[in-house]
Structure 1
Amino acid sequence: MWYDKTPSTLHFLTNMFLKKKMKSLLYVTAGAATVFGGICLYKEDGAFYRNIIMPIIHLLDAETAHNLGIFVSEHRLLPKTKYKDPAVLRVEVLGKVFPNPIGIAAGFDKDGRAIPGLKDMGFGFVEIGSVTPQPQPGNPKPRLFRLTEDGAVINRYGFNSEGHNQVLPRIKYAKNNESVIVGVNLGKNKISVDPVKDYVEGVEKFGPIADYLVINISSPNTPNLRSLQSKENLKMLLQPIISSRDKLGVTKKPLIFLKLAPDLSTEERKDISEVLKQKDCKVDGLIISNTTIHRPSLVSQHKNEIGGLSGEPLRDTSTEMIRELSRLTNGMPIIGVGGITSGKDAYDKIKAGASLIQIYSALVYEGPPIVRKIKAELADLLEQDGHKSINEAVGKNARQ
């Protein structure tokens, strides 16, 4: 024979054969896994994201994973959703028509980088920020924590922002090139000596381009910010803000929403509703709610971290606050946010008085398919109850 039959030679040839087969098997397996993963991504497979993609991403620390999500969205690296919003999800709020009521809450895309990718995920609107007049780094790291067992997140970012001048061109580009409703969440600089001036600057800067502006005075991570929710402080803040908005030299002036903390007492909520009934302080709507400093029964190792808690533990608190403020303000438009992970959660907030819904923490655990899931489940619930649009269901249970 042409080859040597000694044991060492046979062993060598056998190893070569096996290595070649193993390499081929690895190539085939990797190729199959890539194809399978691609199909799952294309199909927006929720289980694939929940059980495989998100656990892998969670091997990274929370803020690095957050930044990865921004990068992916900014560069539109994921397939565009194939879900077509049914007519029942269409909602009109204060003259603006939203293709569906599910938006991304402020805090995810702080600097307006990810708007196109977020639209691709199927969000009906995108809120960016909080944006401060001057750039600021925010609080020291670590400042973002996943509470996996609780389906929650704690953050103490502290309004880290690239500032008005860096963010504005991105908003302009998105509005000029995408059909998307964009809200800008405004904050004040940490060392500002004149908070009112900071918010007025935000109105003047973003008012001509944004669909709506949010006056965020409810983050727990900026010293003394929540004191602006007190009755007298709120009056002094809202009067110049509303006046500045009304003086904008644009045909379509932005809506003004006020974002409130869930930790307000009953008396404080009543005081706020009374202020909002004054003509020179009347905003267009409310966002309920921001994160909470309270700690319900939590089990995760990060449960005692300082910062604002969001996610599932906030669900019932925010829904009840929506119901209460809807009554106190005689049905003022509300964007409901806090602990939404299903169509039922969204529907509960809508029936409590919310016209629009926002999510954030659910995206951390479920990935982009959560948007499609919530919309599909919500559409089914609306149709089961005989509603032809979101508007018919808003506030259905607000007075119960």
Structure 2
Amino acid sequence: MYKFLIRPLFFKFDPERIHHFTFSLIRFSHRIGLGGVFRSIYKLENPKLERELFGLQFPNPVGLAAGFDKDAKLYKELSNLGFGFIEIGTVTPKPQDGNEKPRLFRLKNDAAIINRMGFNNGGVAEAVERLKTNPLQGHKNRVLIGGNIGKNKITPNEEAVNDYIICFDALFDYVDYFVVNVSSPNTPNLRALQEKKPLTDLLQTLQDKNNLKQKRKPILLKIAPDLTDEQLLDIIDIVATTKIDGVIATNTTISREGLTSDNKNEMGGLSGKPLTKRSTEVIRFLSQKSNKAFPIIGVGGIHSAKDALEKLDAGADLIQLYTGFIYEGPGLITEINKAILAK
């Protein structure tokens, strides 16, 4: 129904406007009592799907990647579509509008999206207020939440660590794990923080604060798919040095190789099917070269159960959807979980 009726209709409208409309539609459907219907259709509950990672119990290994529910507005409703966990953000200390519109583009011929949103969000304090309504750990209705954190556009790289600390402190009591985002191509100079020294310093600072807590929270690093093998080896060294808990591979790419859509040259990060192969290569490289030393969450170009299983076979412990969810609909989550059970 989604692919043959809803998607063709939605794809006739501006991507960003339809995103907000979809949020309103999902929220309204839950207000009139359809949440249970969605759960019965999409949510698979089976002990064989559960995964324990960095001390957390994931009900299933299929999560929603950051960028979809930036401001934690819809995490409860989205979890009813079958996701095992929801990653909110990227959030920044201060609210910011992001880049000028239009800034979100469908590449229909390539089953892809280009975005140059620029960390548009209402600020970390606003997200915290919404997360306060999530039940405490152990409650049957709790949604497992990842907090993806970044820096404001106006903050120079030399002071970026302060922005990450602000977000870390504000979110600490309300998320289950953290993701440090230094790999978005849409904030000027942000990717420079992926260089070995600044990245090590940033992660070590957060880890030092983390270790002072009564009960620390897992910290993961989200990396770009455009890193060289040498840079990926640096990532392995950095994880070992700072003892962070894992890596999310990968963010969007700046590559435009093989695209055929008319708007292929729009500026921004590319996600979707063109990223499938490269993100899997990065997962496999990190897994093999590190001798599986740390957990990996695989994301990038997952549009089918086959794509998901390839990520898991390459070394991913969990996976996340974004563009595949938009193109294939919530049925993709169920399809992946059923394939995992069958395997």
Name the TM tier (shorter chain). over 0.9
Given candidates 340, 343, 361, the residue that maps to 2:323 is: 361
> Match for residue 188 of structure 1?
151
CA distance in 1, matches of 2:295, 2:201: 22
CA distance in 2, matches of 1:195, 1:255: 20
- More moved, 369-378 vs 352-361: 369-378
| Within-5 A mapping of 1:257-296 | 257-278=220-241, 281-296=242-257
Given candidates 154, 168, 180, the residue that maps to 1:203 is: 168
The reply to whether residue 88 of structure 1 matches residue 51 of structure 2 is no
The reply to whether residue 379 of structure 1 matches residue 341 of structure 2 is yes
CA apart distance, 1:76: 4.7
CA distance in 2, matches of 1:337, 1:181: 18
CA distance in 1, matches of 2:135, 2:286: 32
Given candidates 291, 314, 320, the residue that maps to 1:352 is: 314
CA apart distance, 1:345: 1.1
Given candidates 66, 76, 79, the residue that maps to 1:119 is: 79
CA distance in 2, matches of 1:239, 1:87: 36
What SS does structure 2 have at the residue aligned with 1:103?
strand
CA distance in 2, matches of 1:164, 1:242: 20
User: How many residues are treated as equivalent by the alignment?
Assistant: 330
The reply to whether residue 297 of structure 1 matches residue 258 of structure 2 is yes
User: Deviations along 1:179-238, whole A, 9 cap, x unmatched?
Assistant: 211001001000013100011111111112210000000000001111111111112211
Structure 1 counterpart of 2:189, one-letter code:
N
The 8 Å contact of residues 273 and 301 in structure 2, kept in 1 or not, is answered as yes
The 8 Å contact of residues 145 and 302 in structure 1, kept in 2 or not, is answered as yes
The 8 Å contact of residues 89 and 100 in structure 1, kept in 2 or not, is answered as yes
CA apart distance, 1:269: 1.0
CA apart distance, 1:65: 1.1
Given candidates 187, 205, 216, the residue that maps to 1:240 is: 205
- More moved, 75-84 vs 237-246: 75-84
> Match for residue 107 of structure 1?
67
Change (3 A) 1:314 1:58: same
CA distance in 2, matches of 1:67, 1:175: 25
> Match for residue 8 of structure 1?
none
The 8 Å contact of residues 115 and 174 in structure 1, kept in 2 or not, is answered as no
Q: CA RMSD in A?
A: 1.4
Aligned residues with identical type, % of pairs: 45
What SS does structure 1 have at the residue aligned with 2:71?
coil
Given candidates 89, 93, 101, the residue that maps to 1:129 is: 89
Structure 2 counterpart of 1:197, one-letter code:
N
What SS does structure 1 have at the residue aligned with 2:132?
helix
Structure 1 counterpart of 2:203, one-letter code:
L
The reply to whether residue 255 of structure 1 matches residue 218 of structure 2 is yes
What SS does structure 1 have at the residue aligned with 2:327?
helix
User: Deviations along 1:368-398, whole A, 9 cap, x unmatched?
Assistant: 2221122222322x2xxxxxxxxxxxxxxxx
Structure 2 counterpart of 1:58, one-letter code:
F
TM-score normalized with structure 1 length: 0.80
CA apart distance, 1:87: 2.7
Change (3 A) 1:84 1:276: closer
CA apart distance, 1:85: 2.7
CA apart distance, 1:171: 1.2
User: Deviations along 1:60-102, whole A, 9 cap, x unmatched?
Assistant: 1000111122223344545323243333221111221111100
CA distance in 2, matches of 1:195, 1:74: 35
Gaps of 5+ in 2: none
CA distance in 2, matches of 1:353, 1:172: 34
The reply to whether residue 67 of structure 1 matches residue 20 of structure 2 is yes
CA distance in 2, matches of 1:221, 1:109: 17
CA distance in 2, matches of 1:241, 1:84: 35
> Match for residue 326 of structure 1?
287
The 8 Å contact of residues 239 and 246 in structure 2, kept in 1 or not, is answered as no
CA apart distance, 1:330: 2.9
> Match for residue 5 of structure 1?
none
Structure 1 counterpart of 2:270, one-letter code:
L
CA distance in 1, matches of 2:69, 2:197: 32
- More moved, 231-240 vs 79-88: 79-88
- More moved, 87-96 vs 123-132: 87-96
> Match for residue 54 of structure 1?
7
User: Deviations along 1:306-334, whole A, 9 cap, x unmatched?
Assistant: 00000111001001100111123331101
Structure 2 counterpart of 1:174, one-letter code:
N
CA distance in 2, matches of 1:360, 1:155: 12
> Match for residue 214 of structure 1?
179
CA distance in 2, matches of 1:172, 1:226: 31
TM-score normalized with structure 2 length: 0.93
The 8 Å contact of residues 305 and 332 in structure 2, kept in 1 or not, is answered as no
- More moved, 158-167 vs 295-304: 295-304
> Match for residue 173 of structure 1?
133
